[in-house]
């Protein structure tokens, strides 16, 4: 542990990387800037307890978690009235983006944050099972098992929708 974690230096050095990560996950510049700031606020709050041995990995993982939490909590979704939401769902194409988003929200609403993180690292970022295992501090078989279970749940949800 490092009692003298230099948050300002880390912000200057890794801030662009954290912001790119937030933009990629949130797809909204304002939300990404807020999330990026949250990452460094959390780093500042926890600087006495964090290990700065691999700062880029630490910040990348923190940015991923902050963004996934924002997505899960609905922080980036615009507030729309129920009637508007129902109309949007009713007029959406069956295989459209809204339909996919609702399906993913339903799927990930049942999963722990770590499973969502694993899915993003593997499916969005293209990391291998081994790389995901290193980032999440899980075994390769644990990563494989969670992704298999996630794929099975998705298949079941899709089968239920077709029935």
Query: Which tens digits make up the pLDDT trace of 66-116?
Result: 988 888 776 444 444 444 444 444 444 444 554 566 666 777 777 787 888
Domain map (residue ranges) of the chain: 1-79, 81-163
Tell me: domain 81-163, CATH 3.30.565.10, correct? no
Query: What Cα–Cα distance (Å) separates residue 108 from each residue in 64, 151, 158?
Result: 15, 11, 14
pTM of the model: 0.51
pLDDT tens track for 118-152: 888 887 778 888 888 888 888 999 999 998 888 88
CA distances from 18 to 15, 34, 105, 120 (A): 5, 11, 24, 15
Pair of tokens at residue 89: 């769902």
Residue with tokens 């995901």: 132
Axis crossing angle, helix 97-108 with helix 82-91, rounded to the nearest 10: 120
**Fold type of domain 1-79:** Rna Polymerase Sigma Factor; Chain: A (1.10.1740)
154-160 CB contacts, 8 Å cutoff, 24+ apart: 154/103, 154/107, 157/103, 157/106, 157/107, 158/103
Give me the pLDDT at residue 139, please.
Answer: 92
Give the model confidence (pLDDT) of 15-60 as tens digits: 899 999 998 888 888 888 999 999 988 888 887 777 677 888 888 9
C-alpha Rg value of the chain to the nearest Å: 18
**Measured between alpha carbons, how far is residue 119 from residues 94, 108, 109, 150 in Å?**
24, 10, 13, 8
């Amino acid at each position: 542990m490092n009692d003298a974690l230099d948050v300002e230096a880390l912000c200057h050095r890794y801030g662009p990387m954290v912001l790119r990560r937030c933009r990629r996950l949130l797809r909204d510049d304002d939300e990404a800037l807020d999330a990026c700031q949250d990452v460094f606020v959390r780093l500042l709050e926890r600087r006495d307890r964090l290990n700065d041995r691999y700062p880029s990995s630490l910040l990348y993982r923190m940015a991923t978690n902050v963004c996934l939490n924002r997505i899960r909590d609905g922080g980036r979704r615009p507030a729309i009235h129920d009637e508007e939401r129902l109309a949007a769902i009713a007029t959406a194409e069956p295989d459209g983006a809204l339909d996919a988003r609702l399906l993913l929200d339903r799927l990930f609403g049942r999963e722990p944050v770590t499973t969502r993180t694993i899915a993003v690292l593997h499916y969005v970022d293209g990391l291998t099972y081994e790389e995901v295992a290193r980032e999440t501090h899980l075994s390769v078989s644990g990563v494989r098992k969670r992704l298999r279970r996630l794929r099975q749940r998705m298949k079941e949800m899709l089968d239920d929708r077709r029935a």
